[in-house]
Structure 1
Amino acid sequence: MRLSKIEIIHFGKLSNVSFELDKNLNLFLGNNEAGKSTIVAFIKQVLFGFHLKSKKSKFFEDYFPLDHVSPMGGKLFFEDEKNKYILERLYAKGDPKKGILTVFLNGQEVPEATFFNSLKNIDDDFYTDSFIFNQDLLAEVTGLDEKQLIERIYFLGAAQSNKLLSLRDKYGDEAGKLFKPTGKKPIINQLISQIKSQKELVGQAASEYEDYQKLDQEKKDLLSELTKFQKELAKLKKKQQQLQLLQTKEKNFVEYQNLKAKYQPVEFSQENFDQIKSLDREIKVEKEQVEKLKKQIQDFDLDQNQVNTDQINGLLNEKAEFLQWQSQLNNLSQQVKRLNDEIKRLESYQPELVKLQKYNDQSLAELKTDYQRAKQESQTLQKQTNIVPMAISGLVLLIGLILVFSQQNLMIGILLILAGIGAGIYFLRPGTTSNSAQKLFEDKYPFDLNSFDLDNSLSQLVNLLSKQEELKHDQTEITKLNQAINTYISQISVALNQELRSSNEVNDALNSLHKLLEKQQNARFKQNNLKNQIIDLNLKIKTNEAQLNKLLVQAQVKSLAELDKRRQLFLEQEKIKLQLATLKNNLAGDLKELQTYRQNHELDQELSKINDQIIRQNSQVNEKQQAIADVKAKQNNLADSDAVFNSNQQLANLKAQLRQESTEYLSDLIVTNWISRSLDLASNERFPKMLSSAKEYFGLLTNGRYHDLDFEKGLTVKNKNNKKVKVQYLSRGTSEQLYFALKLAFVEQIADEISLPVLIDDAFVNFDQQRIDNIINLLELLSQKTQVIIFTQRVDLANQLNCKVIDLNQEN
């Protein structure tokens, strides 16, 4: 089977690479760390699984992808003359440690056993030892022996030979456990010794058994006599028990006679008694209930005396009015605040109003007349006085404008304009004139005639006085409302007997009054209910007392105390009656016999006579029992029939076991020999051929310096002088040549059964040019028989070999 292609998804430092391979000889060329060993490990781990480290497998390294991507693994493509296989093994977190293997045969997915059955189901260790060549495995050549090589050939020479080898060893071990000619511990050896000892025990038991039979007859005779004595003793004991029972019943008989004399029947009705007691208890309970109800009524009366219902109802009815007072008070308070603010604002903005408030109506009329006269005279004089100055000012202004617009004497024109404007403003300003009416007004009143507007001030005065009057009215109303509210709060405080500190507590207080009123109403309702209950209970008491008296008459007693005495007497007589019935039942059929013994006083004498007979009979029984015990003691020292039978049976068992173990021993021995012979026949031709090829290859690699191999006592080689040399004394290079010769010869011999590529990973490091030339010839010869893949950093080897070269340096 040839490897045609390698596809690596992620493995170690390699990711997403593929290599096409030649069917004979291939060479991967690369420097250190180029990935040569990684590819070798990839081929092995895709075949046999990742995480081989957990199995302590040879040639393992941790080849997780460097960047820890997922999935890890890839594909191997194999071909033979008929079929094409694809092995895809992937591993991701959570998968089994070996990864998940998928096998395709000619494009169809098949079970993995389909592929590995064609390889004889070899494991990873066998593949490493047989098909991988590297520096780490060279040292194993010193441990090779003929047995190891032959068993490897057995593995391939016969179908299921690995299982046959395990069976051969298993049956060989089992046979050794069963028998050894000179052994003592094996099972058959122990059985032979046990059978000899058991035969002696059987003869001794037969002799003792004759004496045992004689004593057995003597024991039977004694047992017959003992039985007679025991029967007689049993009769005596039975009679003794009867007399003792009568003796016991004699006391009961006396007691029976005494009780019979005391018994006097009493007329009494338990049913009538129970009815009377029940009525009496019921009457007492009803009277207690009446007293409790009266006490509750009295408590209600005390509570009601503390509450003035009319007063509370009146206060609750005034609640709506109280709330209206609060609302009015709130509105008036806001209105008073607003009026105060408006009055202050008027007085602040118009101080004349404060002065005007000091005048009465007559003074105000006089003020108005004086104001109008002064104002009228002032206006008339102002008009007359300002005409000439204003005309002169206008003329000066006009001349200035003409000079400016004509651009003649521009400076003078501007000065004339400014002078005309200034003169006009001066003559037009108020107060530039004076008259007698104005002077008189200002002397008489504290007002400036030029800035004082009397009509407006009087109008504002009316407004101010109106607001002051409204404010006074509202304050009076607030006082009245506060008095009403305080009076209402005081009444509530008295009703609750609790001082209220503010109107905010009134609502809670009214709720408390409402609850108090409801409580009182409920109390009255309950009080009436209690009174009705008392009436009903009193009626029941009278009815029950009448019924009680009627029952007492029927019982023929006058009171409950007398009835209790009669009941006590009745119970005492009933107890006696029960005792009489019990004693009579106990005495039963012995009553007449007891009367007879009681009259003649013979019971004690008869019992004493029987006791003496029992003592004598017990003595005879004990004598016979002791004699039988002595015979049994003698028999215990002899072998009885059971001992003889058991001894013979044990001897027979030992012989049967010996036959069974001997049969098993012979079966194991035959199977062991058969398996060994079968494997010898299967591998008869392989080992000599492999040894012959190994000698030929070793001679070729060493240029004839060594020509023979010997496995008799460990591995040795013969040089051209026929001198034997142990492997450990060979140079490292020669040891490696021997290693190549042996493994290549082995691979050649098993190629018909297992055809897999040989992987050579940097195994020529210690070879000189001559050895390289020799190994090239050998590899080219071997590649005609099986596929060879070389991994090396030696460029000279790549140049000399006639093969496909894959340069990993360029790939990277």
Structure 2
Amino acid sequence: MKLIEVHIYGFGKWVNETIQFSEEGLSYVYGKNEAGKSTLHQFILYILFSLPPRKLQAFKPQRGGVVGGSLVIETPAWGRIKIERQPDKYDGEARCYTNNGEEKEESFLKELLNGVDRFTYEAIFSFGLHDIQHVQQLHSDDIGDILFGIGMTGSREIYDVEKKLEKELDQRFKKQGKNPQLNQQLVSVREKEQLFQASKQGEEQYASLKKQENNLQNELEALQNKYKDVETSIDELERKQQAVQPLLAYQQLQEEEKEYEEDLSFPENGMERYYHLKDQYLPLKSELEVIEQNEKTYRDKQRDLYEVDERILESLKDLEQKKQRNDVKKEQRDHLNQEIEQRTKKVKDEIESLGIELTIDDVENIEFPFYIEEHWQMLSKQQRDIELEDEQYQQQKRVNKEREQQLLSEKETLEQSLLSEQVYDHYQAEVDRQYEQDVQQKIDNQHKQQQDSLEAYHRRIIALTNQVLIGVAVLFAIGISMSFLFNNWWFGIGTFGLFGIVVMGVSMIRNSLPNVDTSIGEKIVDENESSTTSLTWYKEQLATHDRIKTELEQFSYQVQQLHGEMMKLDERFASLDRQRQRFYQQVEEQMEMYSFLRHVDLDFWPKAYQKVMSHKESLEHIREQEQDVQQLKNDISSYEEQVETLASQVDIDTNVSIEEKENQLFQLKAFIQKQLELKDTYTEWLFTIEQQKQDVREKMKPFEEEIRKLFRFANVEDEEAYIQTGNKINRLYDIKHNKKQYYEQLYSIYLNNDKVKSLLSSSLDSSFIQQERQEKTKRKQELSNQIDSVRQQLSDTLSHLRTLEGDESISKYRHELEFEKSLLKEQAMEWAVYKVAYSMLRKTKSTFQQERMPMVLEYCKQFFSILTNNTYVHVFVPSSEEGLVVETQSGDRYTAEQLSQGTKEQLYVALRLSLSRVMSDQHGMPFIIDDAYVNFDEERTKEFLTLLTNISRTQQVIVLSCRQYIQDILNKQQIIFL
């Protein structure tokens, strides 16, 4: 049988979930703690085997919904089958749906499971971490019982018979028992025998028995003191056993801590701070390297240019401008001067009208980053959001306060309407009394109905007798008439006699009728009228009292809910307050950077930014116009002079015309301008680069300084040494944190700091402690047996003393002794019958188990050898009363208790896998493992998963685990993520 798909309607934390398992190979279900792996395991068991209602209650979804779900399984005989189970359908029984649409009942599922019940399934095909912890307690008989239970039809009935026989035998006789029937009877016989012998000895034994009583009392007291001392020692050893693992871990951490005891100096959150600074510093460093490379390129190009006289070029430029526009430059100059004056006055007036203490110089010098406008818009919106949320908080707080006052007021009003306890008890007593009256009234009503029936019976009898009398009277008249007519007096006398007899009979019938009691009906009517009104009023008062109490409970619950809402509202306000503080800090930073913002409302910051930028652009335009005016003046005044001066400077023939001079000068100007333009361009670029370098270096300085401070604080010179020191600090912190946890574990065991501190400097041997504990436990049992023996002796002595003191007759004890012996013989015969039946049943089980046990141990040996990398080569059970024993390659043998925790778990896993392997041919059930290898190291885990993968080729294996590293071992297709 294979599990194909799980669909959960509602079960624990799972609601409306579908999980599909791998049809071939290993299915590994991964989920973190609390992901629902164990719940999924229990759901599969619930669908297959059901759960009692009390246990199922724990898996009801917290938010309500339908409980239950379905499994899709695949079997060789039937193919795919859907199994559905819900507690509120079909009395919680499962329904099975085959591929051809047939619907089967719970009995069909039991046939599919082939006799496997929940106990057997969990014993063979399913296990978890809790099961592994009991491997040292597993004996041969336990394994045999599992094999016998799954291997035989009707094993449950055989098991029940065996338990019944064991119970009967235990109730009749135990070797060391006191309460069984035969033990008690033997004690009784011994007591009678002793009494009989004591009665013959007489009072000569009295003094000896008194002395013996004193000695036994003293001996009992000494043994009890020793018993208490042994119990104290066992308790101390158990504490030490619990403390072995945390103590060893603590001492190992303490030794490791000594390696870090040199004086380490390291800043708070040093690694995070360093990486944060480095993340910001490296982009700036890269940017600087790019800028320096560009600078080198431009300087090389600049050196390749021809050397020219820049003054001549400037003169030629002026001359060229004056030649073309000399006639209109005066007009342009006047026009520009007027426009500059008007623009400057307008900008100044507009800046002053803003009222934010800004001057023209401030506007020219101010610089904004590109994102500042959006940042100010965000701050404005954030302010409005905070104000709105604060207003909502205050409003909600007022509403909650009013609601609380209303609820408390209504509650107080209802409490005043409650009946006092004395009045409530009085009304209840009245209702009970009226109830008793109602019962009596019903009895009276029944009696009245009987009287009514009797009265109706009277009327019917009287009517019948009247009819008889009338008929007899008519016959009498006819008879008399006939006697006169026929003159026959005997006939008349006979008729008269008959008439008399009939009248006498009717009279006797009427007198024999029982009397009718008519007073009962009147009494019932009076009592009904007097009690109905008062009973109804009392019931109404009690019902009103109960209803008010229910409403008070509802009011209390509403007040608690309201308090919870108010606490959540206060937490929300605290978060809002922190948000407001961050907002104020951001606003203050902006006002520190731009002081004029202190005079502008936050909502108008974006608009102020637009205004300032507009004025800044206007001022830049004005400064450009002023330069143009000055240039015009120079051109107009020097145009003619420049022509001659420049001509003479460049060695142009003075005899040529001015036009020729201008032509030659402009040709020279074009050449010089070309060279100077390239030089100016490179110079400008180099200047810009220099500014960029300075800006980047300025940005890098704070980060470099902060990094140097971190290095100085850590007493290191470079990054590598700093990171090494940081790693040491982190490890030292982990060591101290883990030491604290282990110390708390030790304290939880001893609850005494002095004992824990004393224990830290000592060493504990788990095997020695276990051995000593076993010796103490054995000693405890011996003392217990001795105490029981002394108590029995003391009881016997006291009994003898009472016998002697009572002066009973020896004849009486002889008869009692004979009677007890005969009773003992009868009980012994009954015990012998049960003993023979039990022995035959045990022999039958032993024969069956011996056939299967070697196969289980053989598979267990193979699997355990694989899991331990051939460290252990044999697994066997010396006797039915002893646990599992393993043997190494060198021939050394160890019990399960002597193995490490990880090896114990491997032994248990091997045993469970071998049981499943032996029974898989008869019962091919899926094998489910729930996080059963928590103490496996990575190598053991790989071996374990490889073994499971091999087993999964013939039997479906599902592993539930929270171990994430296994994802690297397995194929991703094998993993199901929850």
TM value normalised by structure 1: 0.38
TM value normalised by structure 2: 0.32
Structure whose CA Rg is larger: 1
